[in-house]
Amino acid sequence: MEKQTYYVNLNPISMDDISSVEIPDSTLIQYEIEATKEELEKLDFLLDETQDHDLEASNLFTFRHFDESIEETDRHEFQKGMDAVLQMIYDLGTPKTKQQMEEAGIVNKEEKRNMKRPPH
Strands lying side by side in the sheet with 17-19: 17-19, 4-9, 30-35
Using a 10 angstrom Cβ sphere, with 0-12 exposed, 13-18 middle and 19 or more buried, the burial of residue 38 is exposed
User: Residue 82's pLDDT band (boundaries 50, 70, 90)?
Assistant: confident
* pLDDT at residue 118, as a whole number: 45
Domain presence at residue 109? no
Chain segment 12-38, per-residue pLDDT in tens:
655 557 899 988 888 888 899 999 999
What is the mean pLDDT of the segment spanning 97-119?
68
Q: Evaluate whether residue 22 is within a structural domain.
A: yes
Which residues form the domain of 52? 4-103
pLDDT band at 76 (very low <50, low <70, confident <90, very high): confident
CA dihedral of residues 37, 38, 42, 48 (deg, nearest 10): 40
Q: Give a yes or no: residue 110 inside a domain.
A: no
**pTM recorded for the entire structure:** 0.73
User: Is 42 within the bounds of a domain?
Assistant: yes
Residue 117 covered by a domain: no
Look at residue 10 and tell me if it is in a domain. Answer: yes
Please indicate, yes or no, if residue 113 is contained in any of the structural domains: no
**How many distinct structural domains can be found in the chain?**
1
| Domain contains 111 | no
